[in-house]
Amino acid sequence: MKIRFASVVLMSVLAPAGFGEIRYLAARKLWRLEAGPVSYIIGVNEKNELQSIYWGRRLWRDDDLAAAHTNSEWASFDNYGNTTPQEYPGWGGGRYIEPCLKVTLADGVRDLVLHYVSYNIEGETLRIEMKDISYDLGVTLEYRVFPESGIIRKTATVHNRTRAPMTLESAQSGAWNLPRGEGYRLTYLSGRWAGEWQINREAIHPGMKVIESRRGNTSHQANPWFAIDADGRADEQTGRVWFGALGWSGSWRLSIEQTSHQQVRVTGGFNPFDFGYVLEPGQSLETPPFYAGYTEGGFGEASRILHRFERVNIMPGGATARLRPVLYNSWEATEFAVSEEGQKALADKAARLGVERFVMDDGWFGARNNDRAGLGDWTVNAQKFPHGLGPLIDHVNHLGMDFGLWVEPEMVNPDSNLYRQHPDWAMHFPDRPRTQERNQLVLNMAREDVKNYIFETLDRLLTENPKIAFLKWDMNRNFTEPGWPEAPAAQQKELWVAYTRNVYDIIDRLRAKHPKLEIESCSGGGGRVDLGILQRTEEVWTSDNTDAFDRLRIQEGFSLAYTPKAMMAWVTDVPNFNGRSTPLAYRFLVAMMGSLGIGGNLNRWSESDMDLASRMVELYKSIRATVQQGRLFRLFSPRDSGFTANEYVSEDGGQAVLFAFRSAQDFGYPPPAVRLSGLDEQAVYRVKTIDHKLAGVTETVSGAYLMNRGVDLRLGGDFDSTAVAFERQ
């Protein structure tokens, strides 16, 4: 089998800048936030409260817009606060909808009614000041528009300007009100370890659907992303879709509510469960960013908007960030049995395949021979690496690869020197059992001393080994017994917020001090993937499930919300999860739909495996700009049938790559014809196949044919696969 696409010129052409502006229409007390194709309009009503007016396709005429007016009360059971779309409601004044802010004041008052005070516009940012009707509790709402994508970011900052402490019991980033009506449908992501990124679709009915993490991190079980389509009619290509995501890696919550007045709203921010944040006089709390957008191009366009937004506006390096290198990771090959010689041997083989980054996973430090000991002791294991990491790193570098290392800084095994010295550093409640998971406890990163110790430890590791180019930052359990006995009792619940803030702080400081360092976020697979961690890491580990067939669905779910560039996908050995075996070419092609990695035990790969693998890596390098930075079209979903097809089109339209997979052939039928998307109908494309599975089409073909007639693929039997590249002439 010949596997080679002609090399392509790597050209990333940015979409033309959208038109973004924020204006205040003074006569009507309205703010028009224009984010490219999207308008978002807020007003101050006659009660001096903030009201949501509109969110959807861009409007152009100021005169169409009436000033905000409260709706009348419906009955003595539902006052205007429940019938009028609230932009940032406090809990008080007879509102029964989900509040954005709930507070207990020092004198026991638990009523909060926020009134508009002032505003300020600076470029693409609007700040609105609000204040309680009698207490000096202020809230700054910040809105930032991103005109290229139509995305708007909301954050809220609560200020205690009174002379006494106050306790926040719920602090949400904001609420997104959809056009009033019924028949909406919610799409969200759920899962578990090794089964993340499952897609759920369900009708929105009166009441509230909560998706959340109470676990201290983002979680495998749910992800802080949503999409809502009108009339339940959107598909991949068409339909009105409102979508959004939180940038927070701690406990979070999204409440999708349909009120009894047909108002659908999504409220999101810190999870109010076990939340209690004391603001001393003069203190403030800023909520996580909550991003949201709107499209009429269905779920496919919603994903493409997010992918580009993440790459350009969220992730380190932005639009000019380099492509992800092809990576090798030792975990599935050696688990804890790492050694200098063993890793060098793997590195030799990885280099032969064209791998660009060699990552040594767990097992290199302390007494880490299994998962029962050593976590917390970040010193090189002298039996396994008698001369430190230097010789291995040099060896890897001489082979032309850079070197990466696994760490799990937030954790400690009770059987470790760190725990013996500082048992109080683990999260716990005094004199109560400490639940171990994977034989480990969570360090209380909310503590400043623990935070500083972890920063210094990692900083030392990177300073002593300046050639470490990459850290895989793992987190293999959730919180239990989230106690913080050293803090005053009233403030102990702040741990939920302080922990994540401090993890962010460590990463930010490490990156500032070691500017070339790249980081992968991992939490036993995809347990920490969100727009908060993506702001600080180049990539994420998608799932510990590397079974290529399961991966099709895992990767599809991931791609609804997150860019393929960040999605690490390894080729591993078979039989894999589920005891399933798939061909090596199939495993490669599945992994090549994200950021390619190899995680098999190369010592067991035959010469023909190695040969196929090097050709696949070479092929990947010729298409990775398109895969990582292009526009993804999910043509056939693995959830619908045994046939899956995805297409990636480069931003300049010069290259399109089609991947297709058939899990099982039935009754001798061929797979359906695949009609491509996102091409230029008038253009002619040169066809590059990696095998002989493209039927009918020969050397060149028009965009019109590809998008309307489509291509036939010779895929049969079980776990067959192919890839085809189309390059515009």
Which chain residues interact with ligand DGJ by CB under 6 A?
331, 361-362, 406, 474, 476, 522, 524-525, 541, 544
Say how far residue 552 (Cα) sits from the centre of its chain: 18
Q: Which is nearer to ligand DGJ, 1 or 337 (CB)?
A: 337
Ramachandran bin of 397, using left for φ above 0, alpha for ψ from -120 to 50, beta for the remaining angles: alpha
Minimal distance, residue 362 CB to ligand DGJ, in Å: 4
Buried b (16+ CB within 10 A) or exposed e, 60-94: eeeeebeebebbeeeeeebbbbbbbbbbbbbbbbe
Q: Which is nearer to ligand DGJ, 545 or 721 (CB)?
A: 545
Say which DSSP state 162 is in.
S
Identify any residues that bridge with 258 across adjacent strands, giving them in sequence order. Answer: 207, 264
31 φ, ψ (degrees, to nearest 5): -110, 130
Minimal distance, residue 330 CB to ligand DGJ, in Å: 9
Radius of gyration for the chain, computed over Cα atoms and rounded to the nearest angstrom: 27
Token pair 């392509």 is found at: 8
Buried b (16+ CB within 10 A) or exposed e, 546-569: bbbbbbbbbbbbbbbbbbbbbbbb
Torsion of CA 675, 676, 677, 678, to 10 degrees: -150
Minimal distance, residue 364 CB to ligand DGJ, in Å: 11
Cβ count near 17 (within 10 Å)? 9
Minimal distance, residue 331 CB to ligand DGJ, in Å: 4
Is 478 within 8 Å of 469 (Cβ atoms)?
no
Which residues are identified as catalytic?
474, 544
Residues 6+ apart with CB under 8 A from 122: none
How far apart, in whole angstroms, are the C-alpha atoms of residue 602 and residue 625? 26
Q: Which is nearer to ligand DGJ, 236 or 362 (CB)?
A: 362
Minimal distance, residue 567 CB to ligand DGJ, in Å: 14
How far apart, in whole angstroms, are the C-alpha atoms of residue 130 and residue 455? 37
Is 232 within 8 Å of 252 (Cβ atoms)?
no
Minimal distance, residue 676 CB to ligand DGJ, in Å: 34
Residues 6+ apart with CB under 8 A from 559: 303, 307, 567, 632, 634
Judge residue 465's burial from the number of C-beta atoms within 10 Å of its C-beta, 0-12 exposed, 13-18 middle, 19 or more buried: middle
Is 158 within 8 Å of 90 (Cβ atoms)?
no
Say which DSSP state 56 is in.
E
DSSP string, 184-197: -EEEEEE--TT---
Q: Which is nearer to ligand DGJ, 151 or 522 (CB)?
A: 522
Q: Which is nearer to ligand DGJ, 213 or 546 (CB)?
A: 546
Is 728 within 8 Å of 653 (Cβ atoms)?
yes
Q: Which is nearer to ligand DGJ, 52 or 476 (CB)?
A: 476
Minimal distance, residue 722 CB to ligand DGJ, in Å: 29
Q: Which is nearer to ligand DGJ, 331 or 648 (CB)?
A: 331
Instruction: Work out whether strand 402-407 and strand 468-473 pair parallel, antiparallel, or are unpaired.
Output: parallel
Minimal distance, residue 325 CB to ligand DGJ, in Å: 18
Q: Which is nearer to ligand DGJ, 363 or 654 (CB)?
A: 363
Nearest position to ligand DGJ, beta carbon: 362
Q: Which is nearer to ligand DGJ, 356 or 361 (CB)?
A: 361
Minimal distance, residue 246 CB to ligand DGJ, in Å: 23
Q: Which is nearer to ligand DGJ, 457 or 476 (CB)?
A: 476
Minimal distance, residue 347 CB to ligand DGJ, in Å: 18
Q: Which is nearer to ligand DGJ, 372 or 714 (CB)?
A: 372
Minimal distance, residue 528 CB to ligand DGJ, in Å: 10
Minimal distance, residue 326 CB to ligand DGJ, in Å: 17
Is 253 within 8 Å of 266 (Cβ atoms)?
no
Of the candidates 440, 457, 347, the one whose C-alpha atom is nearest the C-alpha of residue 402 is 347
Minimal distance, residue 541 CB to ligand DGJ, in Å: 5
Cα distances (angstroms) measured from residue 602 to each of 193, 331, 550, 704: 26, 12, 22, 43
| Residue 643 host element (H or E) | strand 643-649
Hey, what long-range contacts does 638-644 have (CB within 8 A, 24 or more apart)? 638/552, 638/553, 638/556, 638/663, 639/199, 639/553, 639/556, 642/666, 643/671, 643/672, 643/715, 644/552, 644/556
Of the candidates 678, 636, 661, 669, the one whose C-alpha atom is nearest the C-alpha of residue 718 is 661
How far apart, in whole angstroms, are the C-alpha atoms of residue 88 and residue 127? 13
DSSP string, 375-400: TT--SB-TTT-TT-SHHHHHHHHHTT
Q: Measured in Å, how far apart are the chain's first and last C-alpha atoms?
A: 25
Q: Which is nearer to ligand DGJ, 126 or 405 (CB)?
A: 405
Hey, what long-range contacts does 488-493 have (CB within 8 A, 24 or more apart)? 490/165, 490/167, 490/276, 490/278, 491/278, 493/274, 493/275, 493/276, 493/277
How far apart, in whole angstroms, are the C-alpha atoms of residue 183 and residue 185? 7
Token pair 């861009």 is found at: 58
Q: Which is nearer to ligand DGJ, 230 or 475 (CB)?
A: 475
